[in-house]
Amino acid sequence: MHNERLQAYIEKMIPDRSDLIMEMEAYAKEHKVPIMEIEGIEAMLQLLRIQQPQSILEVGTAIGYSALRMAYALPDIRIVTIERDAERYEEAEKFIARSGKEEHIAIIKGDALEVEDEIKDKGPYDSIFIDAAKGQYKRFFEIYSKYLNVDGLIITDNVLFKGLVYESEIENKRIRNLVRKINDFNQWLMNNEDYHTVILPIGDGVAISKRK
Protein backbone atom coordinates (compact mmCIF):
# COMPACT_ATOMS: atom_id res chain seq x y z
CA MET A 1 0.00 0.00 0.00
CA HIS A 2 3.09 2.24 0.05
CA ASN A 3 5.51 3.15 -2.67
CA GLU A 4 8.22 0.50 -2.90
CA ARG A 5 11.01 2.55 -1.30
CA LEU A 6 8.88 3.53 1.67
CA GLN A 7 7.63 -0.04 2.15
CA ALA A 8 11.19 -1.39 1.98
CA TYR A 9 12.27 1.18 4.59
CA ILE A 10 9.46 0.21 6.98
CA GLU A 11 10.12 -3.52 6.57
CA LYS A 12 13.85 -3.01 7.13
CA MET A 13 13.12 -1.32 10.46
CA ILE A 14 11.10 -4.28 11.76
CA PRO A 15 13.28 -6.52 13.97
CA ASP A 16 13.83 -10.14 13.00
CA ARG A 17 11.34 -12.59 14.43
CA SER A 18 12.13 -15.85 16.20
CA ASP A 19 13.56 -18.73 14.15
CA LEU A 20 10.21 -20.52 14.17
CA ILE A 21 8.30 -17.46 12.98
CA MET A 22 10.86 -16.80 10.25
CA GLU A 23 10.54 -20.44 9.19
CA MET A 24 6.77 -20.03 8.99
CA GLU A 25 7.14 -16.91 6.85
CA ALA A 26 9.43 -18.82 4.48
CA TYR A 27 7.02 -21.78 4.38
CA ALA A 28 4.10 -19.49 3.58
CA LYS A 29 6.03 -17.84 0.76
CA GLU A 30 7.17 -21.16 -0.72
CA HIS A 31 3.76 -22.83 -0.53
CA LYS A 32 1.75 -19.70 -1.38
CA VAL A 33 -0.11 -19.72 1.93
CA PRO A 34 -1.69 -16.30 2.56
CA ILE A 35 -0.49 -14.83 5.85
CA MET A 36 -0.80 -11.28 7.10
CA GLU A 37 1.75 -8.89 5.59
CA ILE A 38 4.56 -8.02 7.98
CA GLU A 39 3.79 -4.32 8.52
CA GLY A 40 0.10 -5.11 8.93
CA ILE A 41 0.64 -7.72 11.60
CA GLU A 42 3.13 -5.55 13.46
CA ALA A 43 0.51 -2.79 13.62
CA MET A 44 -2.13 -5.25 14.82
CA LEU A 45 0.15 -6.64 17.51
CA GLN A 46 0.88 -3.16 18.81
CA LEU A 47 -2.84 -2.44 18.96
CA LEU A 48 -3.39 -5.66 20.91
CA ARG A 49 -0.56 -4.80 23.30
CA ILE A 50 -2.38 -1.56 24.03
CA GLN A 51 -5.75 -3.26 24.42
CA GLN A 52 -4.40 -6.22 26.47
CA PRO A 53 -7.18 -8.69 25.60
CA GLN A 54 -7.52 -11.89 27.60
CA SER A 55 -9.24 -13.84 24.82
CA ILE A 56 -9.10 -13.66 21.02
CA LEU A 57 -11.13 -15.37 18.32
CA GLU A 58 -9.36 -15.77 14.98
CA VAL A 59 -11.39 -16.62 11.88
CA GLY A 60 -8.85 -18.19 9.53
CA THR A 61 -5.89 -20.02 11.07
CA ALA A 62 -4.02 -20.98 7.88
CA ILE A 63 -0.72 -22.39 9.23
CA GLY A 64 -1.04 -20.70 12.63
CA TYR A 65 1.19 -17.71 11.87
CA SER A 66 -1.03 -14.93 13.19
CA ALA A 67 -2.14 -16.98 16.19
CA LEU A 68 1.46 -17.58 17.20
CA ARG A 69 2.43 -13.95 16.65
CA MET A 70 -0.43 -12.94 18.96
CA ALA A 71 0.48 -15.60 21.51
CA TYR A 72 4.10 -14.44 21.65
CA ALA A 73 3.06 -10.79 21.96
CA LEU A 74 0.52 -11.51 24.72
CA PRO A 75 1.93 -14.31 26.91
CA ASP A 76 -1.26 -14.85 28.95
CA ILE A 77 -3.67 -14.80 26.03
CA ARG A 78 -6.28 -17.44 25.20
CA ILE A 79 -6.79 -17.84 21.44
CA VAL A 80 -9.50 -19.81 19.66
CA THR A 81 -8.85 -20.11 15.93
CA ILE A 82 -10.85 -21.69 13.08
CA GLU A 83 -9.49 -23.46 9.99
CA ARG A 84 -11.40 -25.49 7.39
CA ASP A 85 -8.52 -26.60 5.14
CA ALA A 86 -7.24 -29.98 6.34
CA GLU A 87 -3.65 -29.53 5.12
CA ARG A 88 -3.27 -26.08 6.64
CA TYR A 89 -4.90 -27.29 9.85
CA GLU A 90 -2.28 -30.05 10.15
CA GLU A 91 0.58 -27.64 9.47
CA ALA A 92 -0.79 -25.25 12.08
CA GLU A 93 -0.90 -28.08 14.62
CA LYS A 94 2.74 -28.92 13.91
CA PHE A 95 3.98 -25.34 14.17
CA ILE A 96 1.99 -24.66 17.33
CA ALA A 97 3.25 -27.88 18.92
CA ARG A 98 6.82 -26.68 18.33
CA SER A 99 6.12 -23.23 19.76
CA GLY A 100 5.44 -24.10 23.38
CA LYS A 101 2.14 -22.20 23.12
CA GLU A 102 -0.19 -25.21 22.77
CA GLU A 103 -1.96 -24.40 26.04
CA HIS A 104 -2.85 -20.92 24.78
CA ILE A 105 -4.19 -21.81 21.31
CA ALA A 106 -7.19 -24.01 20.51
CA ILE A 107 -7.71 -24.82 16.83
CA ILE A 108 -11.24 -25.60 15.70
CA LYS A 109 -11.33 -27.65 12.49
CA GLY A 110 -14.28 -26.67 10.37
CA ASP A 111 -15.96 -24.02 8.26
CA ALA A 112 -16.38 -20.76 10.16
CA LEU A 113 -19.92 -20.55 8.82
CA GLU A 114 -20.78 -23.86 10.49
CA VAL A 115 -19.02 -23.95 13.88
CA GLU A 116 -20.80 -21.12 15.66
CA ASP A 117 -22.06 -23.30 18.52
CA GLU A 118 -18.56 -24.50 19.35
CA ILE A 119 -17.15 -20.98 19.18
CA LYS A 120 -19.99 -19.63 21.30
CA ASP A 121 -19.24 -22.14 24.06
CA LYS A 122 -15.63 -20.92 24.25
CA GLY A 123 -16.52 -17.20 24.32
CA PRO A 124 -16.94 -14.39 24.89
CA TYR A 125 -13.91 -12.71 23.31
CA ASP A 126 -12.13 -9.42 23.86
CA SER A 127 -10.89 -9.28 20.26
CA ILE A 128 -11.90 -10.93 17.02
CA PHE A 129 -9.52 -11.18 14.06
CA ILE A 130 -11.05 -11.93 10.65
CA ASP A 131 -8.66 -13.19 7.97
CA ALA A 132 -10.44 -15.93 6.02
CA ALA A 133 -12.58 -16.15 2.87
CA LYS A 134 -12.91 -12.50 1.86
CA GLY A 135 -16.23 -12.98 0.13
CA GLN A 136 -17.74 -14.04 3.46
CA TYR A 137 -16.41 -11.20 5.63
CA LYS A 138 -19.83 -9.70 6.29
CA ARG A 139 -21.27 -13.05 7.38
CA PHE A 140 -18.27 -13.75 9.63
CA PHE A 141 -18.66 -10.32 11.22
CA GLU A 142 -22.39 -10.75 11.76
CA ILE A 143 -22.06 -14.25 13.22
CA TYR A 144 -19.19 -13.71 15.61
CA SER A 145 -19.61 -10.09 16.69
CA LYS A 146 -22.40 -11.43 18.93
CA TYR A 147 -19.71 -12.99 21.11
CA LEU A 148 -17.55 -9.87 21.43
CA ASN A 149 -17.21 -8.29 24.85
CA VAL A 150 -18.61 -4.80 25.34
CA ASP A 151 -15.29 -3.00 24.95
CA GLY A 152 -14.00 -5.41 22.31
CA LEU A 153 -12.26 -4.85 18.98
CA ILE A 154 -12.78 -6.55 15.64
CA ILE A 155 -9.79 -6.46 13.29
CA THR A 156 -10.27 -7.38 9.63
CA ASP A 157 -7.38 -7.92 7.21
CA ASN A 158 -7.19 -7.54 3.40
CA VAL A 159 -9.90 -4.87 3.15
CA LEU A 160 -7.97 -2.96 0.46
CA PHE A 161 -7.09 -6.15 -1.45
CA LYS A 162 -3.82 -5.07 -3.05
CA GLY A 163 -5.35 -1.73 -4.02
CA LEU A 164 -7.92 -3.31 -6.31
CA VAL A 165 -10.83 -1.88 -4.30
CA TYR A 166 -10.28 1.49 -5.96
CA GLU A 167 -9.66 0.18 -9.49
CA SER A 168 -12.57 0.81 -11.86
CA GLU A 169 -11.67 -1.78 -14.49
CA ILE A 170 -10.75 -5.37 -13.56
CA GLU A 171 -10.75 -7.87 -16.42
CA ASN A 172 -10.78 -11.10 -14.42
CA LYS A 173 -14.42 -11.87 -13.58
CA ARG A 174 -13.67 -13.84 -10.41
CA ILE A 175 -11.42 -11.10 -9.03
CA ARG A 176 -13.93 -8.44 -10.06
CA ASN A 177 -16.70 -10.20 -8.14
CA LEU A 178 -14.50 -10.65 -5.09
CA VAL A 179 -13.49 -6.99 -5.14
CA ARG A 180 -17.16 -6.03 -5.33
CA LYS A 181 -17.89 -8.13 -2.23
CA ILE A 182 -15.00 -6.54 -0.35
CA ASN A 183 -16.18 -3.08 -1.37
CA ASP A 184 -19.69 -3.92 -0.22
CA PHE A 185 -18.33 -5.14 3.11
CA ASN A 186 -16.23 -2.00 3.57
CA GLN A 187 -19.23 0.23 2.87
CA TRP A 188 -21.41 -1.78 5.25
CA LEU A 189 -18.76 -1.77 7.96
CA MET A 190 -17.99 1.94 7.74
CA ASN A 191 -21.70 2.73 8.02
CA ASN A 192 -22.47 0.19 10.73
CA GLU A 193 -24.38 2.01 13.48
CA ASP A 194 -22.97 -0.22 16.21
CA TYR A 195 -19.26 0.28 15.50
CA HIS A 196 -16.66 2.98 15.02
CA THR A 197 -14.37 1.77 12.19
CA VAL A 198 -11.18 3.05 10.62
CA ILE A 199 -9.35 1.51 7.67
CA LEU A 200 -5.58 1.70 7.89
CA PRO A 201 -3.63 1.61 4.59
CA ILE A 202 -0.97 -0.73 5.95
CA GLY A 203 -0.16 -4.21 4.72
CA ASP A 204 -3.12 -5.24 2.60
CA GLY A 205 -5.48 -2.87 4.40
CA VAL A 206 -6.60 -3.41 7.99
CA ALA A 207 -9.99 -2.37 9.38
CA ILE A 208 -10.25 -1.68 13.12
CA SER A 209 -13.79 -1.72 14.51
CA LYS A 210 -14.78 -0.84 18.08
CA ARG A 211 -18.22 -1.04 19.61
CA LYS A 212 -19.90 2.35 20.10
3 is in an annotated binding site: no
pLDDT tens for the chain, 212 residues: list them.
457 788 788 888 998 899 999 999 999 999 999 999 999 999 999 999 999 999 999 999 999 999 999 999 999 999 999 999 999 999 999 999 999 999 999 999 999 999 999 999 998 999 999 999 999 999 999 999 999 999 999 999 999 988 777 777 777 778 888 888 999 999 999 999 999 999 999 888 999 999 98
66 is in an annotated binding site: yes
The CATH class, in words, for 4-211 is alpha beta
25 is in an annotated binding site: no
Q: Which residues of 186-197 are buried (b: 16+ CB within 10 A; e: fewer)?
A: beebeeeeebeb
121 is in an annotated binding site: no
204 is in an annotated binding site: no
Alpha helices in 32-64 (DSSP H): 38-51
83 is in an annotated binding site: yes
191 is in an annotated binding site: no
Residue type, 186: N
pTM of the model: 0.92
